[in-house]
Structure 1
Amino acid sequence: MKKASLLMIIGPLLLLGLYVFPLWNIVLGAPQYPDPLGMNIHINGLQGVNEFDIQNIDGLNHYIGMHTLPKAEEMWEFSAFPVVIGIMIALGVLVGILGYFNKVSYKWFVGWFLLMSVLGILGMYDFNLWLIDYGTNLDPNAIMKLTNPDGTPMTYKPPLLGHVKMLNFDVTSMPAAGGWLMFVGMMLTLIASFMGWKNSQNLKSLS
């Protein structure tokens, strides 16, 4: 149980990377931009990959009626996410320490993993809702009003995950360093849960 508990401590600590590295990254590439435009999504706000990327993205979006990218204070998520992540890190480490001293069973490891998974799914759902609004709630007075072949207004929702072609832009959305650290951390807690369960089975067979 001690090895499982150590993994349970290390796993949540990897989530500290979210306070340093971006969670997600969206890149827009086009022939007229030798260096693609990039946006890093942190748990507390948006940043351009390069110095003027946010301004350039907003400038392009203005022509097709998309809203400017939100500042940190304009979205409640950027205030809530750092707090929620901090609570989950502290809770996970506490569970791991209690497990190390045999105060709680592996089921608490499973509980933390499930709770973090639910929060992650809700976060992705909320992020996708924002992408939908960002790409479809267009200014009717936009300079360029483009339509699909069937005559419906064209929308510009970036992908939640993966690649899509929008006009002459290739848009790619992928987890960034912070997102991968979170994934590895959660996998460590899943392994810790399995090791704890295996240990409990071995103890039952000996008794």
Structure 2
Amino acid sequence: MTTTLITGAGRSLGLETARRLIDAGHTVYAGLRNPDAGDAVRSIGAHVVRLDVTDSASVQAALAELPQLDVLINNAGILGTAYGVDDLNADAMATVLDTNVTGIVRVTQAALPLLRRSANPVIVNVASGVGWPRYLQDPTHDEYPVQAVPYAASKAAVIALTVQYAKSLTGMRVNVSDPGYTDTDFNAHSGHQTVTEGTDATVALATLDQDGPTGEFHDRTGPIAY
């Protein structure tokens, strides 16, 4: 049985990822900052663990509850409070980076001992096309109108972080997904994709076997060229 941990799994993309992987036969642990808000993910058969990616003690305690771990999905993320340059300051930047980037490092480093004992260890980091400079500069892409500096910078960092982890963890499949512009609470339901479409890349990468790619950036259609 494949055991999977998903951070930020209580709603939207995280919840749908949990549902699809449970349907695929995974035992899913759903990491939530507030387990009392976990009714939706419990209803689909996931095990809820308290996990705040900004709190090292919380991360360590959550990992200690897992009997094993084969797949880690770093899904938790925030948009932040700075939406342009005029409202940007260092604290706003640091808050987003602490969750979206440093949070991945906290969880991944804590998870490595368990992952190294797996026969097929997999890591998927959920980024965004908003972290892809080519998309931000192309008026034909959904990402072009986005002005938020912290969120875009954090997702660019997640893509680079993934490549570097993949180079170091040669026995694992370590990849990064772009959900695309999906109808979720995160964007006030303005996205044109369903949550199922938005989780296609993450689910595909989470179910790779040992012959699968590593160090790649994928959307629902496949690899995105670096």
Q: TM-score, normalised by structure 1?
A: 0.31
Larger radius of gyration: 1
Higher relative CO (CA 8 A, sep ≥ 6), structure 1 or 2? 1
